Each structure stands twice: as C-alpha cells, then as structure tokens.
Amino acid sequence: MNEIKNKISRSGVIFLIGGLMFVVIAVLMMIADADYIFHGEITDLNAVIENGESMPYDRDSLSSTYVTYTLYMPLDAYGYKTDFSIIGSKTYNYAVVDESGMILSVKVKDKKIMEKLESLSGDKNDTMTVTGRLSKNGTNMTHFLKDNYSTFAQNEGLELTQYVIDTTATRGHTAFLYCFGIVMGIANLIIFISRVIRLRRR
C-alpha cells in the first residue's frame, strides 16, 4: 500500500492539485461575474464619470466590472499586443478623450470596431458605444501611453489615466474562458483518478 501511495504521489499529485485549482478558481470567478455573464448586468461609465463618482474598478476584487461607454473623440492607437490564443491576431489600445477632461483607453481586436473608431470625426453627434471589462493598463501599455500622450495631455490640460475598457471581454468570451477552466480542471482530476485506479489494480 505504501508503494502504491508513493507512486500516486510521484505521478499524479500534479494533476490533482492542478485540477482542483482550475475548477475552484474558474467556479469562483464565474460566480463573481454571474450578473454579467447570465443577466448582462452592466455599468454606464458615462453616468459614473458625469456624476463625479469613483471609477468602478477594484484591483483586489475577484469580480470584474463590465461597462458600456459612449465616445466621440478617439485618438490614435498607441500600442498593440499579440494574442497567442489566435495565431497572427493582435489587440490594439486606443486613447480616448472624455468630456470630463480625462484620457482613458479602449482595447480592441475586432476590425469593425477599429474602423468605426478611426472613422469618428470628433463631433459630439458622431459617436459610438463600446462594451467591455474595465481594468488598467499593464506595464508595457502604461509606458506606450505615456510616451505617446503625456505631452499632449499636459498641453491640453487633460488627465492621463491608465483605465482601459477591454472590448474583447464579451459575455460569450468570458463565459467560454471560465467553462474552459472548469473542463481543464475536470480533465486533470479524471487523469489523476484513472492513475489511482490503474495503480491499485497492479
């Protein structure tokens, strides 16, 4: 029996731990974002900014805030990141000037959204609405944003912020990622259980 336990410990513990971690994390995150995934609950970011409220972003919270935002004055893209889940696919970050005097960003992968962003005239009657997860730029994008727009922001009296609306985080994509994590976790647990059964039969 001790020999069997040692073999299980050596060959299967990584699948057990990995499987449990995948399942627990994915389930907890799905529960935290359930209102958005299952009910489409979303925050009007324009109203938040207009009312002078704090941005609905908490870095330490398990749940994410999903927002809708109407814009009319985008600037050029200031950086891109390769999406390794799809070969050759890239996401681009566009700076956007808000009426309140802040600059925030929109993360885009969909070409139609990019084309619409680049076609806006800057007129208040020429607008578009984006939806996505509110987060903050990582280290690289923060550097790119400052390099491209810090001088512009200072000259125009604008506040340069690191807030970014990730339009790639749709309801379907978010649900898929969490379900994929659960499936991966279950697969790891099945591998662990199958190894235990095989070793006990020897």
**Is residue 42 in a domain?**
no
16/72 same-domain check: no
163/196 same-domain check: no
**Is residue 112 in a domain?**
yes
Given a cut of 80, is residue 39 above it in pLDDT? no
Region of poorest pLDDT, from 37-41, 49-53, 61-65, 160-164:
61-65
Q: Give CA–CA dist 63/189, Å, rounded.
A: 26
146/187 same-domain check: no
The pLDDT value recorded for residue 84 is 63
pLDDT tens by residue, 175-202? 888 899 989 999 988 888 887 777 777 6
**Is residue 46 in a domain?**
no
Angstrom CA distances, 25 to 28, 33, 51, 174, stand at 5, 12, 35, 14
How many domains does the structure of the chain reveal? 2
**Is residue 153 in a domain?**
yes
| Domain boundaries, position 186 | 2-32+178-201
111/164 same-domain check: yes
**Is residue 58 in a domain?**
no
Q: Give CA–CA dist 159/198, Å, rounded.
A: 62
- Residue 26: partners with Cβ closer than 8 Å, 6 or more residues away: 178, 179, 180, 181, 182, 185
Helix axes 2-32, 171-201, angle to 10 degrees: 170
The pLDDT value recorded for residue 7 is 55
105/137 same-domain check: yes
Region of poorest pLDDT, from 52-56, 65-69, 117-121, 190-194:
190-194
pLDDT tens by residue, 124-165? 899 999 999 999 999 999 999 999 999 999 999 999 999 999
190/116 same-domain check: no
Query: What is the CATH classification number for the domain harbouring 129?
Result: 2.40.50
163/126 same-domain check: yes
73/144 same-domain check: yes
The pLDDT value recorded for residue 10 is 60
79/143 same-domain check: yes
**Is residue 69 in a domain?**
yes
**Is residue 135 in a domain?**
yes
155/182 same-domain check: no
75/157 same-domain check: yes
| Percentage, residues of the chain above pLDDT 90 | 51
**Is residue 50 in a domain?**
no
